[in-house]
Structure 1
Amino acid sequence: MSDLLEKVKANLILEHSEDDELLERLILTALSYAESYQHLTEGYYSENEIPATTEQAIIMLASHFYESRDGSTAGFFSDNVNASSQVWNTVNLLLRLDRRWQV
């Protein structure tokens, strides 16, 4: 988790540790979303390596949750009304690349 925490903080350009507990919860939420979206069992990524594309999706999603924790879009693209949907579209596209399809 600490590796993901550092990557999310780098993505957010955060140098303080006041929000680390919040970020860890948001990372867990993003991990849970990824596992569910990819049809994996809960906790799969706590025991298995996270593919690079899925890791990027988790970083983006946790960052998005952090920047919009007040319900707004916020962040770098706050003036773009489509920013939130663009984030979700990108996250879902990345997660689809590693999705386990049922045959």
Structure 2
Amino acid sequence: MTLLEKVKANLILEHSADDGLLQLYITAAVRYAESYQHLTENFYADNPMPPTTEQAVIMLSSHFYESRDGSTGGFFADNVQAGQQVWNTVNLLLRLDRDWKV
């Protein structure tokens, strides 16, 4: 299953009208993961992505999609801390696979 398919499953999205947009969000989330983890750009194009990093990418891509109108979006839209919680969770997941070089 591709990352696009996994993000669409996470969003419960069955149409393909937004596939191009989703792919842009996935690319941005992967680049964020690589940067946060101190990896070179396109690292995950040539190397397997650990499950924790993949989950972070899926969550962040979904958040970008659900928040594209500027709101927090998603299930927790009524919670003012929802957007920040997404980032906290994504960063915690990415930290597990981070290259801690100084």
TM-score normalised by L of structure 2: 0.98
Which residue matches 1:17? 16
Which residue in the other structure is 1:34 paired with? 33
Structure 1 runs (4+) deviating above 4 angstroms are: none
Normalising by structure 1, we get a TM-score of 0.97
Match of 1:80 in 2: 79
**Percent identity between the two aligned chains:** 74
Structure 1: runs of 5 or more not aligned: none
Letter in 1 for 2:49: I
* Runs of 5+ unmatched residues, structure 2: none
- Calculate the aligned-residue CA RMSD, in Å: 0.9
- Looking at structure 2, the residues matched to 5 and 66 of structure 1 have their Cα atoms a distance apart, in angstroms, of 12
Q: Which residue of 2 aligns with 1:54?
A: 53
Where does residue 43 of structure 2 map in the other structure?
A: 44
Which whole-Å CA distance do the structure 1 matches of 2:73 and 2:29 have between them?
A: 18
Cα distance, 1:70 vs structure 2: 1.1
How many aligned residue pairs are there? 102
Separation in 2, partners of 1:55, 1:94: 9
Aligned to 1:69: 68
